[in-house]
Amino acid sequence: MADAAITLVLWTYFTAGFLIFFAPIYLAAWLFSADRAIAFQKLNHIFLRGFLRLMRIVVPGLAVEIDGRISGLESCVVVANHRSYLDPVILIACFKRQSSVVKKDFFKTPIFGCIIQTAGYIPSQGKGGRLTSLLMRRIEKMYNYLAGGGVLFVFPEGTRSRTGKIGTFNKGAFKIARNCNVPIEVLCITNTDRLFTPGRFLFNTCVKNRIRVRHIGSISAEYCSIHPIEHVMAETRKMMEKHLRGREPEVFE
């Protein structure tokens, strides 16, 4: 009963809260902002930061600890492990200017698809058609976006881990970091799956939980440029696995 009631409160924020309070603001940003993408990114940040605050209030026994250094990151590619649909929610709440790679099917959904497209998010790889063209345009603009202080966050596993172990990485985020000459900042997320488990509709609210998002290491642009992408991916994976075993952050320069 508690899970159902709290889930209802949180989803009401997402639906009724958006339609009543945020939809008019998004519409105004669409009509009047000089840069729609930046405006929508900031609105996404505000909307999901509100969701995160509400989640902290209504879920008993929940603590959320976000490394204070994360919100100050800019002009970089952020990579993180992926445990739950809560992961992108938390990262959007961290960054005022953010872009990410989103499953292409989400671009086809009403309202949400319009928001993520206007915000400048990147569709996952498709086979021809409008989304492939959109993907190429977004990649072409990525250098200027990152140079201007934007953050691209990516879950290189591509999907949520069901076991907690780090899955196989895709190369896309690492190629972008190299091509745009920006550093890679590595985060580790724990226990979001304990609250919102893959395959379960209800939030799991009847257990004590501590969600942590930690900045666990950096890989400089110079390091990325002189080492094979496979090596950089391997080092990133080692950072995440070491952190999950309780070791210290690392920096590669």
Listed residue (2, 42, 6) closest to 25, CA to CA: 42
Mean pLDDT of 110-121: 94
Q: How far is CA 97 from CA 156, 168, 187, in A?
A: 20, 28, 17
Q: With bands split at pLDDT 50, 70 and 90, how would you rate the model's confidence at 1? A: confident
Mean pLDDT of 177-194: 97
Burial of 34 (0-12, 13-18, 19+ CB in 10 A): exposed
pLDDT of res. 126: 61
Percent of the chain topping pLDDT 70: 96
Percent of the chain topping pLDDT 90: 83
pLDDT at 128 over 80: no
Mean pLDDT of 191-213: 94
Angle value at C-alpha 147, between 144 and 152, nearest 5 degrees: 85
Average pLDDT, the chain: 93
- Residue 253, Cβ neighbours under 10 Å: how many? 9
Mean pLDDT of 140-153: 96
Tell me the pLDDT tens digit for each residue of 25-37.
999 999 999 999 9
pLDDT of res. 143: 96
Q: With bands split at pLDDT 50, 70 and 90, how would you rate the model's confidence at 250? A: low
> CB–CB of 85/7 below 8 Å?
no
> CB–CB of 41/98 below 8 Å?
yes
Beta-carbon contacts of 11 under 8 Å, excluding residues fewer than 6 positions away, are none
Fold of the CATH domain 2-252: Glycerol-3-phosphate (1)-acyltransferase (3.40.1130)
Comparison of pLDDT for 60 and 246, the residue scoring more:
60
- Map tokens 């409160």 to a residue: 9
Q: How far is CA 120 from CA 123, 167, 195, in A?
A: 10, 27, 29
Tell me the pLDDT tens digit for each residue of 223-248.
999 999 999 999 999 999 999 887 55
